Amino acid sequence: METHAGQLFLQITQSPDLCEFLGLKDYMGVMYVITLVEKVVPVSDEHVKVTEDTFDGVDVVLYQPNVQEAGTNLRRAVIYLHGGGWCLGSPRMSPYDLLARKIVTELDAVVLSVDYRLAPPHHFPIPYEDVYRVVKHLFRKEVLAQYSVDPERVAVSGDSAGGNLAAAVSQQLRKEPGQPIKLKAQALIYPVLQALDLNTPSYQQNQNMPILPRTLMVRFWSEYFTTDKALFRAMMANTHNSPESSILLKFVNWSTFLPETYHKKYNYSAPAISQGAEREAASMEEPSRSFADPRASPLLVPDADLRFLPKAYILTCEYDVLRDDGIMYATRLRAAGVAVTHEHYTSGFHGAVMFTVWPTDFLIARRMISNYIKWLMENL
């Protein structure tokens, strides 16, 4: 019987703390069991051809329509980036394998699923840099020709931390002088987009929700930057901002960018600013610069940097600490003139699209994936 990753999350998100306390294994080492249990060996079938390759030193899994003779028509492509808080996950997990096959068969598209390196062994910006290198490699003329990809019909997409990486890459490609690559679309599924304010209404409302409680999301953020527990403690208290990062808080002010219906009972209070002597450890200084980096927190850019970004699809869920990140990004992108489709699921929860494998094959997951692929069909 196959056990679903979401079901495992419910059972063991609390146990890693105990294991770490007892010295048995580090927290993320225990959590990685989820990835291992869900792993499959992607194989070709009558509809989909699956190959594994390395793009500029980064492992990728390629899914293509399985046709006997290569046609002359170029295909659209989706670069997919898995979730898992930059610490967990793999393209070879069964829900991602199934999603890639569905995109291939319904869109007649090529799917490039990226196996970027994970924290804590590989802290920011390594996962981001892996993804950026893969995108640039795909757009090499010989690679586009090899996989029959139309360079004008390429989207970057991902869920959770993968949505973060997709948004960051979309921005950075636009910033690079003389960059010829033009992504047509970005599709972000409950993305995580900022590390400056971890007390937005959705962080407070859903702090104890299964799958992704606030403690786990903060742990993911801190592990992305450093193994020093001082940062985790400061982020839990929302006192991790330095005077340098505080000037960027205006870009994540939820009282401004979050529609009132999502304010709920909460009142805005700007995160505390820690001065040098108050910071718990000198080793927090480098991570504090990292979480103010837009490659880690794509919401932290001025409006001018949002203009001319590719059209966006943003999926958010009511029962998700990351809900407000996605909604604020949709608000800011629209204000900057970007075409945005925002789908909010009032009964949705973080990680829902992973619930496609028996015995947790949920209707809401099927609905989300159906709407997501429909948007790609119409916009890519």
At 72, list the tokens.
């002359």
Q: Between 363-379 and 94-107, two packed helices, what is the crossing angle to 10 degrees?
A: 40
Contacts of 305 (CB under 8 A, 6+ apart): 171, 174, 175, 294
Known catalytic membership, residue 320: yes
Q: Which of 287, 151, 172 is nearest to 230 (CA)?
A: 287
- Which residues, at least 6 apart from 21, have a Cβ–Cβ distance to it below 8 Å? none
- Which of 197, 293, 320, 325 is catalytic? The answer is 320
Cα–Cα dist 356/99, whole Å = 9
- Residue 242 appears among annotated catalytic residues: no
Phi and psi dihedrals of 158, rounded to 5? 180, 165
Structure tokens at 220: 């993911």
Examine the residue annotation and report whether 160 is marked as an active-site residue of this protein: yes
Distance between CA atoms of 39 and 34, rounded to whole angstroms? 9
**Count of helix runs (H) and strand runs (E) in the chain:** 17, 10
Q: Report whether 187 contacts 376 (CB < 8 A).
A: yes
Catalytic residue chosen out of the listed positions 94, 160, 245, 297: 160
- Cα–Cα distance for residue pair 349/330, rounded to 1 Å: 18
- H or E element in which residue 49 lies: strand 48-55
Residues classed as catalytic: 160, 320, 350
